[in-house]
């Protein structure tokens, strides 16, 4: 039977180091390497630091909720399973498609960002040409190397973590004059942070960029996706959550501080990674080229994770008979080829966007992906709220939960509110408003599709092997 064949791939083989690096690897990608430039240009240095601190709080709240759910019910495709169980099957179906949208659109922004990286060396070659190349590479890697995914992503992510640590150390040394600037100018110190005032455009841009910040943090929830494939989830998941959040705060806040200190607000943007901008200014030979290469590999690694996650979500929906059975079919290598192929739509979208207007469409793609992941986070908080309430109503003691989110119900309620506020902030930014124009109808379409198709899919016969 095909379902048996697929379940053989879902053994609990991931260890703590895999789970931590998978989560870190999903996060350290396009959002951090490119979106940070957009956020600095929009909110100023101090505003960017504050926005990322708020984003870190949101991530902590959501991950506490997800931790309790994942330890109690370790499932592959966790978010939509929890939402279906505690918020209704239509909501679970919609959450699964939203998470698919998160990653398939993130593929588009990742391929576009990778094209920007290549233009650093080959400015005459258009972005769309590189998008074609990287679409083929990432699709090929997913088709061939699924069984090595966890180990491969561990090493990819390790490279990214080492890069971030090196950036914070070297960039911090340049900020305070331990490493000279290339043009001989004195070390900037904190002058760029204070030059335009603490909040040069007021407080509204911070609200406007919250979804962009949350997009930069997206990927932490991969811990929930991988929970069903993890050894001893009740022990491993809490450790992974604690270490991941602590490292993210250090990496993101430290990185944003260095970027904001070295790049004047008016020079920041998305067409060139702010990391490369920094090392063009610092007097370290070939540093900009080296970091551009590392950023390129990091972005492609995040795209690799994204295609895996989106393909798994479609497989999970089909496995639960809410999508046609073709999405759960696997080829001779055990790969859900149809699910992966449909998920590559994000890469095709990148080809279109990079021809039209790569810089502006990149922000729009990031906003759509950010809206989708924040909507998923909202469902995680709401699912946890209902789960804990039902647990208590059933008369079971709290001690029966091997991992408990603190300060219930404050944690899920505050997480829910902050995520909703971030979505509202999209309305105030014309360049990101398209996320609401696309995202809200997409949610409505998913609910409608569920009620239209549930009877048809429920009548289909059991899966058979190809």
220 contacts 245 by C-beta, under 8 angstroms? yes
Q: What angle do CA 144, 342, 354 make, to 5 degrees?
A: 95
Backbone angles phi, psi at 289, to 5 degrees: -65, -40
pLDDT of residue 16: 58
Q: How far apart are CA 423 and CA 425, in angstroms?
A: 5
What SS3 class is residue 14? strand
For residue 426, what are its two tokens?
């999209």
In the numeric block, the tokens 């956020």 are attached to 39
In the numeric block, the tokens 């759509």 are attached to 368
pLDDT of residue 356: 65
For residue 314, what are its two tokens?
């479609």
pLDDT of residue 271: 52
Q: How far apart are CA 386 and CA 388, in angstroms?
A: 6
Contacts of 448 (CB under 8 A, 6+ apart): none
What is the model's pTM?
A: 0.79
In the numeric block, the tokens 């795209």 are attached to 303
The alpha carbon torsion through 316, 320, 321, 322 (nearest 10 deg) reads -70
Q: What angle do CA 301, 51, 53 make, to 5 degrees?
A: 80
pLDDT of residue 361: 67
pLDDT of residue 13: 47
In the numeric block, the tokens 């083989």 are attached to 13
pLDDT tens for the chain, residues 1 to 466: 444 444 434 444 455 565 666 666 656 766 676 667 777 777 777 788 888 888 888 988 998 998 889 888 876 657 788 999 999 999 998 998 888 887 887 787 778 888 888 988 998 888 888 888 888 888 887 777 555 566 666 777 777 778 788 888 888 888 887 887 776 777 777 777 776 666 767 777 778 778 878 777 777 777 666 555 556 667 777 777 777 677 777 778 888 888 878 777 666 655 556 777 777 777 677 777 887 888 787 777 778 777 877 887 888 778 777 777 788 777 776 677 888 888 887 667 666 766 666 566 666 777 787 888 899 999 999 999 999 999 999 888 888 888 898 999 999 999 999 999 988 888 887 877 888 888 899 899 999 988 887 765 455 444 433 3
Q: How far apart are CA 197 and CA 211, in angstroms?
A: 23
Which DSSP string corresponds to 404-449?
Answer: --SSTTHHHHHHHHHHHHHHHHGGG-TTTTHHHHHHHHHHHHHHHH
Q: How far apart are CA 394 and CA 81, in angstroms?
A: 20
Backbone angles phi, psi at 332, to 5 degrees: -65, -20
219 contacts 240 by C-beta, under 8 angstroms? no
* DSSP 8-state code for residue 148: G
């Amino acid at each position: 039977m095909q379902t048996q064949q697929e379940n053989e791939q879902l053994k609990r083989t991931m260890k703590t180091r895999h789970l931590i690096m998978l989560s870190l690897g999903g996060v350290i990608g396009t959002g951090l390497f490119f979106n940070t430039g957009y956020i600095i240009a929009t909110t100023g240095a101090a505003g960017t630091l504050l926005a990322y601190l708020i984003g870190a709080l949101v991530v902590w709240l959501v991950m506490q909720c997800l931790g309790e759910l994942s330890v109690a019910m370790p499932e592959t495709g966790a978010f939509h399973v929890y939402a279906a169980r505690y918020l209704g099957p239509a909501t679970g179906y919609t959450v699964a498609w939203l998470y698919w949208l998160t990653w398939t659109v993130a593929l588009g922004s990742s391929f576009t960002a990778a094209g920007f990286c290549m233009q650093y060396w080959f400015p005459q070659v258009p972005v769309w040409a590189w998008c074609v190349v990287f679409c083929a590479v990432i699709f090929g890697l997913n088709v061939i190397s699924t069984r090595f995914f966890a180990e491969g992503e561990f090493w990819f992510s390790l490279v990214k973590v080492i890069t971030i640590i090196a950036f914070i150390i070297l960039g911090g040394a340049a900020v305070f004059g331990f490493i000279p600037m290339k043009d001989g100018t004195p070390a900037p110190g904190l002058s760029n942070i204070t030059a335009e005032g603490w909040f040069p455009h007021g407080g509204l841009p911070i609200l406007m960029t919250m979804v962009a910040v949350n997009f930069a943090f997206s990927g932490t929830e991969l811990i929930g996706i991988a929970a069903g494939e993890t050894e001893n989830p009740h022990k491993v998941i809490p450790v992974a959550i604690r270490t991941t959040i602590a490292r993210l705060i250090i990496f993101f806040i430290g990185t944003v501080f260095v970027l904001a200190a070295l790049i004047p607000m008016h020079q920041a943007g998305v067409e060139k990674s702010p990391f490369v901008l920094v090392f063009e200014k610092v007097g370290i030979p070939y540093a900009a080229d080296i970091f551009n290469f590392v950023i390129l590999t990091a972005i492609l690694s995040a795209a690799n994770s994204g295609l895996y996650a989106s393909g798994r979500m479609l497989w999970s929906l089909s496995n639960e008979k809410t999508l046609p059975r073709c999405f759960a079919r696997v080829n001779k290598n055990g790969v859900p080829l149809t699910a992966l192929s449909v998920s590559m739509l994000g890469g095709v979208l990148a080809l279109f966007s990079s021809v039209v207007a790569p810089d502006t469409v990149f922000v729009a793609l990031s906003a759509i992906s950010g809206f989708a992941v924040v909507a998923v986070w909202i469902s995680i908080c709401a699912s946890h709220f209902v789960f804990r309430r039902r647990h208590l109503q059933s008369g079971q003691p709290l001690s029966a939960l091997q991992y408990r989110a603190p300060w219930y119900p404050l944690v899920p309620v505050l997480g829910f509110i902050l995520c909703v506020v971030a979505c509202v902030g999209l309305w105030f930014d014309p360049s990101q408003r398209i996320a609401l124009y696309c995202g809200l109808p997409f949610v409505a379409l998913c609910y409608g599709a569920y009620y239209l198709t549930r009877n048809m899919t429920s009548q289909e016969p059991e899966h058979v092997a190809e």
